[in-house]
Amino acid sequence: MQGRFVDDSKNAVVQADQLVRELMQKRGYPMGDFERRAADISVDHPAVVEHYQAAQAIAVRDGRGEADTEELRKAVVHYRALFDELLEVKETK
């Protein structure tokens, strides 16, 4: 997805959002509205909920045609940080 950003940045953001949503669903997060998802993520991953909120805000602006390429790049970076955090497996003691 990141490799296709140069050729189709808008679609890369949509795909990043879809990947994060799929991973969240597989990790057991309820898939209600955005505010609920952000609140649920903040419980287990407080350090990255800001990434999710920032990425979503950019995606919404892009949907209105208001996001430029640099903002779309930042959205992908935010989604990647969240994705990486959600994939991390915590060690049990």
Residue 93 lies in a domain: no
CB 20 within 8 A of CB 14: no
Asked if residue 92 belongs to a domain, the reply is: no
pLDDT given at position 1: 67
> pLDDT for 64-82, tens place per residue?
999 999 999 999 999 998 8
pLDDT in tens, 24-65: 888 887 767 777 777 877 887 777 788 888 999 999 999 999
Q: What is the pLDDT of residue 85?
A: 84
Q: How far apart are CA 67 and CA 61, in angstroms?
A: 5
| Domain that residue 79 falls in | 2-87
For the entire predicted model, the pTM comes to 0.77
Angstrom distances, CA of residue 62 to CA of 17, 24, 42, 55, 69: 13, 22, 24, 10, 10
In a domain, 18, yes or no: yes
Instruction: Show Cβ contacts of residue 32 under 8 Å, excluding neighbours closer than 6 positions.
Output: none
**Does residue 54 form part of some domain?**
yes
> Is the pLDDT score of 5 beyond 90?
no
How far apart are the C-alpha atoms of 63 and 70, rounded to whole Å?
15
